[in-house]
Amino acid sequence: MPINHISFNGLRNLAVTEMAPGPGINLVVGANGSGKTSFLEGIHLLGMGRSFRTRHLKHVIAHDAEAMTLFARLDGDPPLPIGLRRTRDAGELELRLGGERVPRLARLTEALPLQLVNPDAFRLLEGSPAGRREFIDWGVFHVKHDFFDAWRRARRALKHRNALLRHGRIEPDSLLAWERELAHWGERLDALRRDWMAAFQPVFEATLAALLPLPELELRYSRGWDRQRDLQTVLAQGRETDRQMGFTQQGPQRADLRIRLGRHPAVEVLSRGQQKLVVSALKLAQGRLLERVTGRTCLYLVDDLPAELDADHRQVFCRLLETMGCQAFITSVEHDALVGSWSSHAPLTMFHVEPSPSGQGRLVPAGHAQTS
Ligand SMILES: Nc1ncnc2c1ncn2[C@@H]1O[C@H](COP(=O)(O)OP(=O)(O)OP(=O)(O)O)[C@@H](O)[C@H]1O
Ligand SMILES: [Mg+2]
């Protein structure tokens, strides 16, 4: 369901924003510092409950505002309003879906599946396993209904086991009970992630082949514990060293997606542009698989499209996105780099972010953009 109305208030430097995006590709052009990334950040917050720029949401609230209120209406019958509010003082996130307050971010994530491609995209390859685990789990969450429950139960069991390990004075019954729980839900998580990987792999390979032929590139899922033993045994046999370390060393919380090119980690041999294309292929493949399995499309946020991509690769990326029929919000400082990469019948809607002397950015529609 595409977004057909956006209302942002108190978001970084943006003036109160009311806009009606198009259902297809929305291009957002503006000078450095005008507020383009902030605008994408607002949409990202609605779908993911967190920023891609900071861990502290108070920094996202406009300096002169007491609160930030973000709202979007998803097109549908009936339309689905989603909203998020954060005050500077209380620090609590208020989440709304369909006019009602909801307790969990997962409800918003479920309503607004989105993927971000930005100049930091290479971090997915370079950074810690946590980002790649989150990437896998986003996919599993959207296509496997029992994922969230299994994930929550495994996380809770892990928290309790870690607390007992740190406690020093081991309570054997409690520890065994949480261990059994962790083993059970951890194995379940692994099975769901493996199933998802099996479906994801061919979609990724086809997407990558279209963007950047790298036949040697290989994705390998690693589940987070020894391949030869079940999790229950791993936890039992690791109890003593886990106690010395003060945490559980193996389990679904250590799962990763290894990305290799032949014998090397991909990040060690690919150029920045190639890394961005591999990450783009991963993210586009997420949306394609989501569509294939659930019939739902994924929203794409692409910040600074031209960064690291030459004109040819930019065009292949844009054409792929276009064929997916997704709603997208794409920014650039440069008008021509943004507009010239699409087919003549692409569903483009153009916006400008106009800076005011006070530093506020104002998002204004620019009619339908001309394609090359
Ligand atoms: N909490 C805040 N309140 C007010 N202004 C802020 C806040 N946080 C950041 N800014 C300002 O918002 C402006 C817009 O930043 P943003 O990153 O969105 O710009 P941009 O259009 O993406 O620029 P670029 O093309 O350089 O990437 C910056 O000038 C920044 O100083
Ligand atoms: Mg920016």
In the chain, % of residues over pLDDT 90: 90
For residue 106, give the nearest of 149, 71, 154 by alpha carbon: 149
Range from 317-321, 344-348, 368-372 carrying the lowest mean pLDDT: 368-372
Cβ(178)–Cβ(157) below 8 Å: yes
In the chain, % of residues over pLDDT 70: 98
Band (pLDDT 50/70/90 cuts) for residue 224 is: very high
Whether ligand 1 lies within 6 angstroms of the CB of 58 is answered as no
Taking the centre of ligand 2 as the mean of its atom positions, its distance from the CA of residue 50, in whole angstroms, is 17
Q: State residue 370's pLDDT score.
A: 43
Q: Which atom of ligand 1 is nearest to the CA of 331?
A: 22
Asked whether residue 368 carries a pLDDT value surpassing 70, the answer given is no
Q: State residue 369's pLDDT score.
A: 44
Whether ligand 1 lies within 6 angstroms of the CB of 13 is answered as yes
Asked whether residue 107 carries a pLDDT value surpassing 70, the answer given is yes
Whether ligand 1 lies within 6 angstroms of the CB of 118 is answered as no
Question: What average pLDDT does the chain have?
Answer: 94
Asked whether residue 300 carries a pLDDT value surpassing 50, the answer given is yes
For residue 4, give the nearest of 73, 105, 52 by alpha carbon: 73
Q: Give the pLDDT confidence of 9-64 residue by residue, as tens digits.
A: 999 999 999 999 999 999 999 999 999 999 999 999 999 999 999 999 999 999 99
Give the type of residue at 14: L
Average pLDDT over every residue of 115-122: 94
Nearest CA to ligand 1 atom 12: 13
Taking the centre of ligand 1 as the mean of its atom positions, its distance from the CA of residue 13, in whole angstroms, is 6
Residues across the chain: 372
**CB under 8 Å to 41, separation ≥6 — which residues?**
11, 12, 51, 52, 53, 60
SS (H, E, C) the chain: CCEEEEEEECECCECCEEECCCCCEEEEEECCCCCHHHHHHHHHHHHHCCCCCCCCHHHCECCCCCEEEEEEEECCCCCEEEEEEEECCCCCEEEEECCEEECCHHHHHHHCCEEEECCCCCHHHHCCHHHHHHHHHHHHHHHCCCHHHHHHHHHHHHHHHHHHHHHCCCCHHHHHHHHHHHHHHHHHHHHHHHHHHHHHHHHHHHHHHHHCCCCCEEEEEECCCCCCCCHHHHHHHHHHHHHHHCCCCCCHHHCEEEEEECCEEHHHHCCHHHHHHHHHHHHHHHHHHHHHHHCCCCEEEECCCCCCCCHHHHHHHHHHHHHHCCCEEEEECCHHHHHCCCCCCCCEEEEEEEECCCCCEEEEECCCCCCC
Average pLDDT over every residue of 325-354: 94
Whether ligand 1 lies within 6 angstroms of the CB of 280 is answered as no
Taking the centre of ligand 1 as the mean of its atom positions, its distance from the CA of residue 164, in whole angstroms, is 44
Cβ(141)–Cβ(109) below 8 Å: yes
Whether ligand 1 lies within 6 angstroms of the CB of 32 is answered as yes
Q: State residue 215's pLDDT score.
A: 93
Whether ligand 1 lies within 6 angstroms of the CB of 34 is answered as yes
Q: Which ligand is nearest to the CA of 31?
A: 1
